[in-house]
Amino acid sequence: MSAIAVLAALGGNTPSIPAPHIEYGRLSPMLVVFGAAVAGILVEAFVPRRHRYWTQVPLALAGLAGAFVAVVVLAAQGRAPHLELLAMESVAMDGPALFLQGVILLVAVVAVLTYAERRLEPKAGGLPADAFAAQGAATPGGEQERAAVRAGFTTTEVFPLTMFAVGGMLLFPAANDLLTMFVALEVFSLPLYLLCALARRRRLLSQEAAVKYFLLGSFASAFFLFGTALLYGYAGSVKLGDIADVVSGKAMSTPAQLSSTQSDVLLLTGLGLLAVGLLFKVAAVPFHAWTPDVYQGAPTPVTGFMAAATKVAAFGALLRLFYVAFPGLKLDWRPVMWGVAILTMVVGAVLAVTQQDVKRLLAYSSIAHAGFILTGVIALDRQGVSSVLFYLAAYSFVTLGAFAVVTLVRDSKGEATHLSSWAGLGRRSPLVAGVFALFLLAFAGIPLTSGFTGKFAVFQAAAAGGATPLVVVGVLSSAVAAFFYIRVIVLMFFSDPQPGGPTVAIPSAFTATAIGVGVLVTLGLGLLPQYFLELASKASLFAY
């Protein structure tokens, strides 16, 4: 943007605008994903309907795999400022960004596998059906919808929509200025709003979830944008590094018309509004109200993707904001974040105890986990970053696996998510109930699972950072959370199955692979965490 400033200074008489230098090769993970998304749109336009599914699924998987290879290659190239600050310093492909992008891409691969599942729903119009509405625009229960179901339509648009969301999520933790961060936020949020509305069963709930998510999400991003505007007024730039310089007093940039007291108002209000926008996305209390409704109403494969990948991307951006732009202001934001972390852990854990629906239970559990991750964010050192990175990687695969298991337990009306219908599941299907129990134990943080390693890492970082009371609250709310996870396990294994209760559907290889990956990662990060802890530790340095 400095070129523009020069242009303004010269009064518009300059003959040409120098083209910005864009490092396409270093930005390739995002470009590959966006390219695959655009190709997916073209497939929707030009490929006959009956071939679309088998075109979209390989295309999405290939795009994600290609982007993951690009991330690995970039990570192997080593570190240097000119390799990390890209596109006029608006994107930082540094250690945390590459680590989180790798996690998001692997999560997205698993999520696309659960999207592609077509054996669970009964056939519609003689063709296999997936978890998504036959035609999103058709009114539920109307003639148009019946016709669409008879014709065996499926909404294959979910694949390009997901790819756009993944592209935005890749950019979000790498965004090095507030404008890029805002655009990335919208790029991954808008497709998610649409995906929420596309459930095949219980379409009213699904549409209601989409409306709630959209209205509250756009409300939160308006806060983020106003915060951006105020910080631009304070620092004269939206680059995180420039803002940090002005905060620490290395550069003076507040305009003369605004006195010094006013500039403090700009800074603190701006930071507060930005934090509201980001804390909404990570579902921290008091900005969590949307989470249970949206998680319950959205199609379950989408819920799994959203619960895992959004959290990874949003915590990446939150880390970068606090660690790159505002370390000099830690005396101001840390007490507030302490309060938010404590509230989030306690409210998430306590409200989860009262839930009767599996998806809502997992939603409240995700709120509690956001609180645990926030304790690592508050540490404000490299150990804090590496512990948060590790926790996010561990948590996202457990979440995906748990929601994939939820898609398997079904009765005649679709998924049976009420907890009472899960009673005795361990007797009907010991394997599925055992896998779900493993995920619940990982959520609870029982040793030998990834959840334990992650929780230990964030609490250790928080304690080392001087936040011992926070760790005490964290351990206590973990104990409350363990109660309701264990309650579900007891319900599954030690109570009698209801007559006429749900059955466990046999999935195709897609969902089986997704659950298998979840189990492998959960056990792998629990039994042999050392390699991944070192990887997270090596990746924990921000570039600025």
By the criterion CB under 8 A, which residues form the site for another protein? 1, 4-5, 7-9, 136-137, 139-140, 179, 182-183, 186, 190, 193-194, 197, 203-205, 207-212, 214-215, 218-219, 222-223, 225-226, 228-230, 232-233, 236-238, 253, 255, 257-258, 292-293, 296-297, 351, 354
The nearer residue to another protein, 83 or 179, going by C-beta atoms, is 179
CB of 192 to another protein, least distance (A): 10
C-alpha 131/C-alpha 111 separation (Å) is 13
CB of 507 to another protein, least distance (A): 27
Tell how far CA 290 is from the center of its chain: 15
**Cβ neighbours of 41 (radius 10 Å):** 15
CB of 14 to another protein, least distance (A): 13
Rounded to 10 deg, the angle between the 203-235 and 260-282 helix axes is 160
CB of 109 to another protein, least distance (A): 25
Cβ-Cβ contacts under 8 Å for 34 (sequence gap 6 or more): 163, 164, 167
CB of 236 to another protein, least distance (A): 5
Q: Token pair for residue 87?
A: 């596109």
CB of 143 to another protein, least distance (A): 13
CB of 234 to another protein, least distance (A): 9
CB of 542 to another protein, least distance (A): 23
Q: Of the candidates 426, 442, 427, 455, which has an alpha carbon nearest to the alpha carbon of residue 520? A: 442
Name beta bridge partners: 85. 92
C-alpha 194/C-alpha 30 separation (Å) is 21
442 and 449 Cβ atoms separated by less than 8 Å = yes
The nearer residue to another protein, 180 or 511, going by C-beta atoms, is 180
**Cβ neighbours of 479 (radius 10 Å):** 12
The nearer residue to another protein, 33 or 196, going by C-beta atoms, is 196
CB of 418 to another protein, least distance (A): 13
Reduced to 3 states, what is the DSSP secondary structure of residue 504?
Answer: strand
Tracing tokens 């002005």 back to the chain, one arrives at: 246
The nearer residue to another protein, 181 or 462, going by C-beta atoms, is 181
DSSP 157: T
CB of 292 to another protein, least distance (A): 7
CB of 440 to another protein, least distance (A): 22
The nearer residue to another protein, 72 or 258, going by C-beta atoms, is 258
| Helix (H), strand (E) at residue 427 | helix 425-428
The nearer residue to another protein, 276 or 457, going by C-beta atoms, is 276
The nearer residue to another protein, 207 or 478, going by C-beta atoms, is 207
- Strands of the sheet containing 503-504, edge to edge, are 414-415, 409-411, 503-504
The nearer residue to another protein, 255 or 430, going by C-beta atoms, is 255
The nearer residue to another protein, 72 or 183, going by C-beta atoms, is 183
Q: Token pair for residue 370?
A: 């956001």
Widest pairwise Cα distance in the chain: 82
324 and 542 Cβ atoms separated by less than 8 Å = yes
The nearer residue to another protein, 204 or 472, going by C-beta atoms, is 204
Q: Token pair for residue 522?
A: 């959960």
ω into 335 cis (within 30 of 0): no
The nearer residue to another protein, 193 or 391, going by C-beta atoms, is 193
CB of 318 to another protein, least distance (A): 20
Q: Of the candidates 381, 289, 282, which has an alpha carbon nearest to the alpha carbon of residue 334? A: 381
CB of 285 to another protein, least distance (A): 14
The nearer residue to another protein, 123 or 146, going by C-beta atoms, is 146
Reduced to 3 states, what is the DSSP secondary structure of residue 321?
Answer: helix
Cβ-Cβ contacts under 8 Å for 214 (sequence gap 6 or more): 193
The nearer residue to another protein, 153 or 391, going by C-beta atoms, is 153
C-alpha 24/C-alpha 179 separation (Å) is 20
C-alpha 93/C-alpha 83 separation (Å) is 8
| Helix (H), strand (E) at residue 264 | helix 260-282
Cβ contacts of 431-437, under 8 Å, gap ≥ 24: 432/405, 432/408, 432/504, 433/492, 433/493, 435/401, 435/405, 435/515, 435/519, 436/402, 436/405, 436/488, 436/492, 437/489, 437/492, 437/493
